[in-house]
């Protein structure tokens, strides 16, 4: 599993965002050229917002893009803390991407019902071309948290009692997150250092259960004492 991780350190969060943007640009061009569409799964949280803002200016055929979400918080559909609202305000509402091709997780229905609704939508979208993820300070990714077990045969799972508020969420499960041609995990800031160090040490963290190649893009603050340069 460790040989599937590719770690890259960049000067700062802006450089991490620049690298992520370059990879999204390249992967989308390849996918559209080869298969006529680009299927991307978005990360939530705050780290990817800088990337989403820069995507506004991407020179691409937005009619070929299909956007899904790696996880969502069980809040009203227009709540400012929703991952879908963050992506819409920073990027998706500002480009001519056909509305029907942005597929938010209906987390306002509650964890169980939303997971049931989103599961078939994920299944028909597989394999993805790119999955974007973040990592929490406890080693969670998407809304897959330490101590939470999920059945391997579910692509989308309900999450209760999440340690990161809100407590109720919906998340793509490990097999769905890995059913992709590329997976990029972005981590910036010293606060992620401990989780990254534990991940590299082989601890059974949620992020370590991603059984597929992961490109880990870090800024210097997250890299310090964890990774030297790249490996």
What are the residues binding ligand 6PG (CB under 6 A)?
Answer: 43-47, 71, 73, 83, 134, 136, 140-143, 164
- Of 31 and 92, the one with the shorter C-beta distance to ligand 6PG is 92
Closest separation in Å from C-beta 46 to ligand 6PG: 4
Rounded to a whole number of angstroms, the minimum distance from the CB of residue 153 to ligand 6PG is 22
Cα angle for residues 99, 100, 101 (degrees, 5° grid): 90
Q: How far is CA 38 from CA 18, 75, 97, in A?
A: 19, 28, 12
- Specify the DSSP class assigned to residue 229: S
The percent helix, strand, coil of the chain (3-state, each to 5) is: 40, 20, 40
CA 184 from chain centre, in angstroms, equals: 8
Which residue, 43 or 227, is less far from ligand 6PG as judged by CB? 43
Pairing mode of beta strands 156-159, 130-133 = unpaired
CB of 83 to ligand 6PG, least distance (A): 5
The answer to whether the CB of 177 falls within 8 A of the CB of 131 is: yes
| Cβ-based nearer residue to ligand 6PG, 85 or 142 | 142
Give the Cα separation of 173 and 120 in Å (integer): 13
Residue 101 Cβ vs ligand 6PG, minimum distance, rounded to whole Å:
21
The minimum distance between CB 128 and ligand 6PG, in angstroms, equals: 16
E-strand ranges in 63-221 read 65-69, 71-73, 102-103, 130-133, 156-159, 169-172, 183-187, 214-219
Q: Minimum Å distance from CB 47 to ligand 6PG?
A: 3
Q: Of 85 and 125, which CB lies nearer to ligand 6PG in the complex structure?
A: 85
Nearest CB to ligand 6PG, comparing residues 5 and 144: 144
Q: Which is nearer to ligand 6PG, 90 or 143 (CB)?
A: 143
């Amino acid at each position: 599993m460790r040989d599937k991780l590719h770690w890259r350190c960049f000067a700062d969060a802006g450089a991490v965002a620049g690298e992520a943007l370059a990879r999204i640009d390249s992967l989308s061009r390849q996918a559209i050229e080869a298969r006529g569409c680009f299927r991307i799964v978005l990360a939530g949280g705050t780290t990817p917002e800088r990337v989403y803002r820069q995507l506004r200016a991407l020179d691409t055929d937005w009619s070929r893009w299909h956007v899904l979400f790696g996880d969502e918080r069980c809040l009203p559909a227009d709540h400012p803390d929703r991952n879908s609202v963050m992506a819409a305000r920073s990027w998706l509402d500002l480009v001519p991407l056909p509305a029907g091709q942005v597929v938010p997780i209906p987390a306002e229905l509650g964890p169980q019902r939303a997971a049931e609704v989103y599961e078939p939508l994920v299944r028909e979208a597989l394999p993805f071309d790119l999955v974007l993820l973040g990592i929490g300070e406890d080693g969670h990714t998407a809304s897959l948290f330490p101590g939470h077990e999920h059945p391997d045969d579910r692509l989308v799972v309900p999450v209760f009692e999440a340690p990161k508020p809100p407590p109720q969420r919906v998340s793509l499960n490990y097999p769905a997150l890995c059913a992709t041609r590329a997976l990029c995990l972005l981590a910036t800031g010293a606060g992620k250092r401990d989780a990254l160090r534990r991940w590299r040490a082989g601890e059974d963290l949620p992020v370590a259960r991603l059984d597929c190649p992961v490109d880990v893009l870090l800024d210097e603050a997250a890299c310090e004492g964890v990774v030297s340069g790249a490996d």
